[in-house]
């Protein structure tokens, strides 16, 4: 595949294995497009964007335009690479029709779900949040709409009942790279039958916000909250609110380690109580969650015993939501 001029567009850990797969298979990657680096003191550039690091390692030209790809100078530069194909993985920008029409073989995208389920920006978190037991990756030919193009190939993967988002991210990133290695040569040779998506079966997901981590005790089951916890690890995490004294500002409590228990509580949902082996529990609409580690806003992380020792009055308190 050394004669196939390829542009790769992607950002972050999900995209990096796909770029590595193209390089390993001998594709002529003439340029990489990625999102600009954000200033962040606590993390290295490679942690922020491994795609950028990989491109630099292989001396591939790196482009990180802040403008739209159709901006005159951006599009002019894109054309100079004369791509035969553009491969996209978690790029973070929508490709307009003008760009989609540029390469001979079009633009293909690796999406972290079994389309048409979970079209959009957060398919991995959304699958876990919904309690899905099956997901996968899709290689699709892109069109001008969001994740609606015809399917080239798919690979499925089970979601374990205790699997968190970071683990699934890693697994699906590797699955996407393998699917690309296996399928892209046949696609370029015209040996793939593309399958149109069934729009009637489509589900959608959006960009995650901090408020998505707010626990709704009055309407959520134990499993719902545990799925929320698994999906939004590490960000935005899940949190609840406790008003320690009437008239004071509620304390925001982030729950860092929780376990669903086989215990039917008689307490109202959101009530804090203690069990013999579980010092800090919260009642749900259908059961109980044990909280093993947490962090009160402005304080250090602490385990359940430290919380009870420092905040005796939290037992029998009522957690509530403002989201």
What is the mean pLDDT of each successive set of 10 residues along the chain, which is 323 residues long? 91 96 97 84 58 97 95 96 98 93 98 98 98 98 96 98 98 98 97 97 97 96 98 97 89 96 94 95 97 95 94 92 74
The pLDDT value recorded for residue 190 is: 96
The pLDDT value recorded for residue 3 is: 87
| All structural domains of the chain | 5-205 (3.40.50.170), 210-314 (3.10.25.10)
pTM of the complete model: 0.94
The pLDDT value recorded for residue 41 is: 47
The pLDDT value recorded for residue 212 is: 97
- The helix/strand/coil state of 214 is strand
DSSP strand E in 34-128: where?
A: 62-63, 85-89, 107-111, 119-120
The pLDDT value recorded for residue 165 is: 98
DSSP-derived secondary structure letter, 188: H
Q: Burial code of 212-235, b = ≥16 C-beta within 10 A, e = fewer?
A: bbbbbbeebebebbbbbbbbbbee
Note every long-range contact of 244-253, with CB atoms under 8 Å and residues 24 or more positions apart, other chains counting.
Answer: 244/311, 244/313, 244/314, 244/317, 250/320, 250/322, 251/296, 251/297, 252/296, 252/297, 253/294, 253/295, 253/296, 253/297, 253/319
The pLDDT value recorded for residue 43 is: 46
The pLDDT value recorded for residue 111 is: 98
């Amino acid at each position: 595949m050394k004669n196939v001029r390829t542009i790769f567009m992607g950002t972050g850990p999900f995209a990096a294995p796909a770029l590595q797969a193209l390089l390993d298979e001998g594709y002529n990657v003439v340029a990489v497009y990625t999102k600009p680096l954000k200033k962040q003191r606590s993390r290295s550039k490679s942690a922020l964007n491994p795609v950028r690091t990989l491109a630099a390692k292989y001396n591939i030209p790196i482009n990180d335009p802040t403008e739209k790809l159709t901006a005159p100078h951006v599009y002019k530069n894109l054309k100079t690479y004369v791509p035969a194909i553009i491969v996209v993985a978690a790029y973070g920008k929508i490709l307009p029709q003008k760009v989609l029409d540029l390469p001979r073989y079009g633009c293909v995208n690796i999406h972290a779900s079994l389309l048409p389920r979970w079209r959009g920006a957060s398919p991995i978190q959304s699958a876990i949040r919904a309690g899905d037991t099956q997901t996968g990756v899709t290689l699709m030919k892109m069109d001008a709409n969001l994740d609606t193009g015809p399917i080239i190939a798919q690979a499925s993967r089970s979601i374990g009942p205790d699997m968190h988002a970071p683990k699934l991210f890693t697994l699906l990133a590797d699955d996407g790279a393998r699917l690309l290695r296996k399928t892209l040569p046949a696609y370029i040779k015209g040996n793939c039958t593309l399958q149109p998506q069934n729009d009637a079966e489509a589900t959608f997901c959006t960009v995650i916000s901090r408020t998505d981590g707010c626990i709704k005790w009055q309407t959520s089951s134990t499993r719902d909250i545990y799925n929320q916890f698994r999906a939004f690890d590490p960000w935005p995490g899940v949190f609840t609110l406790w008003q320690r004294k009437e008239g004071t500002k509620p304390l925001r409590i982030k729950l860092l380690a929780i376990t669903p228990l086989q215990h039917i509580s008689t307490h109202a949902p959101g009530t804090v109580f203690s069990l013999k082996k579980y010092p800090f529990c919260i009642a749900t609409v259908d059961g109980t969650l044990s909280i093993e580690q947490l962090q009160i806003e402005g304080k250090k992380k602490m385990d359940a015993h430290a919380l009870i020792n420092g905040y005796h009055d939290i037992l029998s308190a009522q957690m509530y939501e403002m989201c």
